[in-house]
């Protein structure tokens, strides 16, 4: 199958043989959006902290490269971008779309395409890549021009027809800092023309505390160990009988690698004489981010704990429901991922 390139100037807008309907249909095709195969394409989840790579990704490079969550400048799509500063030689942040052991051989010989907004002040330095385990120059986009503004770079790669064993997307710099935003990976030979949102869902971790709340301990009233990375968006509290005398206060903590640490500066509460309340996390960003637990080792973000910091002083409150709402990502290829949990194997 030949590689297809997209030229939005054809068919021309005016001419003897041009139908208005044809031009309109052709233009509409440009905005047809297949599914983005990346998990967390906007790099929202950073359970390891702001000075590392995002949770759904891996990284490589010699000479201690650095990776940073950017939240104030150098932004293009979404609230954050990723910066990569190489050490010795090239450095990259990458994500396995399909991995060794999960790879469907029916996809060998097929095309994958990628695009991303890239910013650099150094010519011939920053670019993106699609890799199938075998390398090859055809897997690279063009370099950023070095003009200091965001440029959309894209690449299409045909997987090796006999021995391809994975599909990997990478963002790469070789000598100077580069910024990356809005990464998009799709199946097919036409490279994406713009950012395509990822597949996402917001679910809840549910913690019921029955009876009088002063009968419950102040710490460790519930634990959650996620099966995939996520970011806490909100904590909702509801009681059957509300507190009186003073507010009921709940804390939500994540494991920071050595201790349970709150994700809140102002904790969720139900005011005295009320029956419901809640709050969005406003503490250290990494503490509101979760990493999947698969196996025996706890690392930063792999656990969440619920504490009951304060109950009502006259009436403690009764039958409390705590719902922690979590944003998580999924991709079209999860059914092909063979390791425990599926999504864990692609990191």
Strand partners, 289: 231
Q: Provide the CB-side half-sphere exposure for 207 (13 A, CA).
A: 23
- Whole-angstrom Cα distance, residue 290 to residue 45? 7
Q: How confident is the model at residue 83 (pLDDT cuts 50, 70, 90)?
A: very high
Any alpha helices (H) in the chain, and if so which ranges? 20-30
- Whole-angstrom Cα distance, residue 119 to residue 153? 10
Q: How confident is the model at residue 33 (pLDDT cuts 50, 70, 90)?
A: low
Is the per-residue pLDDT at 317 higher than 70? yes
pLDDT in tens, 155-179: 999 998 888 888 999 999 999 999 9
Strand partners, 242: none
Mind listing the domains of the chain with CATH numbers? 20-198 (2.60.120.260), 200-330 (2.60.120)
Is the per-residue pLDDT at 344 higher than 50? no
**Average pLDDT over all residues of the chain:** 89
Q: What is the model's pLDDT at position 332?
A: 81
Phi, psi of 234 (to 5 degrees): -165, 150
Q: Average pLDDT for residues 330-336, to the nearest whole number?
A: 77
Q: Which one, of 178, 186, 198, lies nearest residue 113 by Cα? A: 186
Is the per-residue pLDDT at 338 higher than 60? no
- Whole-angstrom Cα distance, residue 40 to residue 254? 20
CA-to-CA dists, residue 53 to 21, 160, 274, angstroms: 46, 29, 42
For residue 315, give the DSSP letter.
B
Non-local CB neighbours of 12 within 8 Å, separated by 6+ positions: 18
Q: Average pLDDT for residues 272-296, to the nearest whole number?
A: 96
Q: Average pLDDT for residues 52-81, to the nearest whole number?
A: 94
- Whole-angstrom Cα distance, residue 233 to residue 249? 18
**SS3 labels along 119-165:** EECCCCCEEEEEECCCCCHHHECCCCCCCCCEEEEEEEEECCCCCCC
Please indicate whether residue 107 or residue 201 has the higher confidence score (pLDDT).
Answer: 201
Please indicate whether residue 297 or residue 143 has the higher confidence score (pLDDT).
Answer: 143
Q: Which of 13-27, 35-49, 73-87, 196-210 has the lowest mean pLDDT?
A: 13-27
Is the per-residue pLDDT at 219 higher than 70? yes
Q: What is the model's pLDDT at position 107?
A: 83
Is the per-residue pLDDT at 30 higher than 70? no
Phi, psi of 334 (to 5 degrees): -60, -30
Q: Which of 82-96, 118-132, 276-290, 326-340 has the lowest mean pLDDT?
A: 326-340
For 186-224, the DSSP string reads EESSSPPSS--PPEEEEEEEEEEEEEEGGGS-SS-SEEE
The pTM of the full predicted model, rounded to 2 decimals, is 0.88
Q: Average pLDDT for residues 233-252, to the nearest whole number?
A: 98
Q: What is the model's pLDDT at position 278?
A: 98
Q: What is the model's pLDDT at position 346?
A: 42
- Token couple for 126: 């920053």
In contact, 278 and 268? CB cutoff 8 Å:
yes
Q: What is the model's pLDDT at position 18?
A: 64
- Whole-angstrom Cα distance, residue 9 to residue 83? 33
Is the per-residue pLDDT at 343 higher than 50? no
Q: Average pLDDT for residues 332-342, to the nearest whole number?
A: 59
């Amino acid at each position: 199958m030949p590689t297809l390139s997209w030229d939005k100037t054809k068919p021309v807008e005016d001419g003897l043989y041009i139908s208005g309907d044809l031009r309109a249909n052709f233009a509409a095709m440009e905005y047809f959006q297949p599914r983005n195969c990346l998990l967390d394409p906007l790099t929202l989840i950073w359970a390891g902290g702001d000075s590392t790579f995002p949770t759904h990704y891996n990284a490589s490079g010699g000479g201690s490269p650095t990776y940073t969550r950017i939240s104030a400048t150098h932004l293009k799509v979404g609230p954050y971008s990723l910066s990569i500063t190489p050490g010795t030689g090239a450095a990259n942040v990458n994500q396995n779309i399909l991995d060794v052991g999960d790879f469907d051989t029916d996809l060998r010989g097929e095309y994958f395409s990628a695009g991303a907004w890239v910013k650099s002040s150094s010519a011939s330095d920053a670019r993106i890549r699609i890799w199938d385990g075998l390398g090859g120059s055809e897997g690279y986009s063009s370099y950023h021009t070095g003009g200091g503004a965001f440029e959309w770079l894209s690449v299409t790669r045909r997987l090796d027809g006999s021995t391809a064993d994975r599909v990997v997307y990478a963002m790469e710099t070789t000598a100077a800092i580069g910024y990356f935003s809005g990464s998009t990976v799709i199946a097919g030979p036409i490279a994406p023309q713009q950012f395509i949102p990822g597949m996402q869902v917001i679910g809840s971790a549910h913690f019921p505390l029955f009876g009088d709340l002063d009968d419950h301990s102040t710490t460790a009233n519930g634990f959650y160990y996620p099966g995939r990375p996520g970011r806490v968006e909100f904590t909702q509290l509801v009681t059957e009988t509300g507190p009186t005398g003073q507010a009921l206060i709940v804390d939500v903590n994540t494991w920071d690698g050595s201790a349970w640490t709150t994700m809140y500066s102002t904790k969720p509460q139900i005011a005295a004489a009320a029956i419901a309340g809640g709050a969005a996390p406003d503490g250290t960003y990494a503490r509101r981010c979760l990493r999947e637990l698969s196996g025996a080792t706890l690392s930063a973000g792999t656990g969440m704990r619920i504490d009951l910091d304060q109950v009502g002083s006259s009436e403690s409150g009764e039958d409390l429901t705590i719902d922690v709402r979590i944003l998580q990502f999924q991709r079209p290829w999860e059914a092909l991922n063979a390791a425990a949990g599926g999504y864990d194997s692609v990191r």
